[in-house]
Amino acid sequence: MSFTLLVYEYCLTLSLEVERFWSSKRLTWSSFLFYLNRYFTLCGHVPLLAEYFLDLKAPSKLTICRGLLSYTQFLAMVVEIIVGALLILRTYALYAQNRKVLALLLAVTFVGIGIACWFILIGKKESRGLEDYLAVVGCPTAVSQSNALRYAAAWSGKLIFDVLVFGLTVYRSMTLRRLSGSSVLALMLRDGSMYFGIMVAATLANMLMLVYGRPFTRGIITTPMNVVSSIMITRLMLNLRDPKLTAVLPCSLGTTLASRDTHILSTIQTPSGYVETLPAETINSYCSYTY
């Protein structure tokens, strides 16, 4: 189901990716991370098909399954790190490249990664289940209650990070909208709220399944959660390059204004008569992040 959703979403958004990313001649950090999230997640989940449907005999299957189970944990961690990096860049741009905000986000990120690694490494390796169930297709493994609690604690770092990013997004968006009523900020607030709601629900579901699930059902939400996280951040990036926003907010004008005075408000009149007012420093930061 997870792999089908990932491939289906890729097919749905490929035309948008070509239009809004492939046409760009520059490779920025945001576009690099976009491609990395897009294709590493897509290709990285292919080996999981072997984990789910592998049909070999022991002892070769036992060795392969152990490797695939370790790979699954590695994949989940890397995907979340890539998504987290994109969220950090997005929030950093929203705050006009404020280094204090960047330092806060990085500190929470590194602490969360450290806690996750510590909880995972101190857990005992699971061997029960593999030898007894090799006749079954795939690589089933039982997760003990003690290790499940460690994994749930490890995922709590992601939950804290998502709450922080959402709080910063809401605060910044509401503060600037008092000045401008910007459609750009409305978009970022809308997308940020949707991402926060969906990912918090998925993370909580994963943690609850780890704590209350049975030995062979604990952790089954991890892969769907990773896929949804990757899809959501892809949508956020594609929406920021919507041509409608580009028409309202030309980046060349924003950069020019910001270079003169980072405190002035820039007002842009479009051919349709729509007026967009934003702090010039926010326009400059938005354009740097998006393009």
For 241-289, the pLDDT digits (tens) are 777 665 555 554 443 333 333 333 344 333 334 334 455 556 666 566 6
Contact 219, 143 (CB under 8 A): yes
Q: What span, in angstroms and rounded, lies between the C-alpha atoms of 168 and 95?
A: 9
| Count of all residues that appear for the chain in the document | 291
pLDDT at residue number 177? 59
User: In total, how many domains does the chain have?
Assistant: 2
Structural contact between residues 259 and 93, judged by C-beta atoms closer than 8 angstroms = no
Same domain, 138 and 255: no
Q: What angle in degrees, to the nearest 10, is found between the helix axes of 2-17 and 46-53?
A: 160
Q: Which of 224, 241, 258 is the last residue of a domain?
A: 241
* Nearest residue to 113 (alpha-carbon basis) of 72, 146, 50, 156: 156
The CATH number linked to 142 is 1.20.1070
Q: What is the pLDDT of residues 98-135, one digit of tens each?
A: 889 999 999 999 988 888 777 767 655 554 445 555 55
In the three-class reduction of DSSP (H, G, I as helix; E, B as strand; rest coil), residue 178 is classed as helix
> Among 225, 241, 257, where does a domain finish?
241
Q: Tally helices (H) and strands (E) across the chain.
A: 11, 2
Domain containing 46: what range? 2-241
Question: Smallest Cα–Cα separation from 225: which of 22, 1, 29, 38?
Answer: 1
Q: Please tell me whether residues 237 and 257 are part of one structural domain.
A: no
Residues 141 and 235 in one domain: yes
pTM more than 0.85: no
pLDDT tens digits, one per residue of 265-275: 344 333 334 33
Is residue 289 within 8 Å of 89, Cβ to Cβ? Answer: yes
Q: Average per-residue pLDDT in the chain?
A: 76
* N-terminal to C-terminal alpha carbon distance within the chain: 33
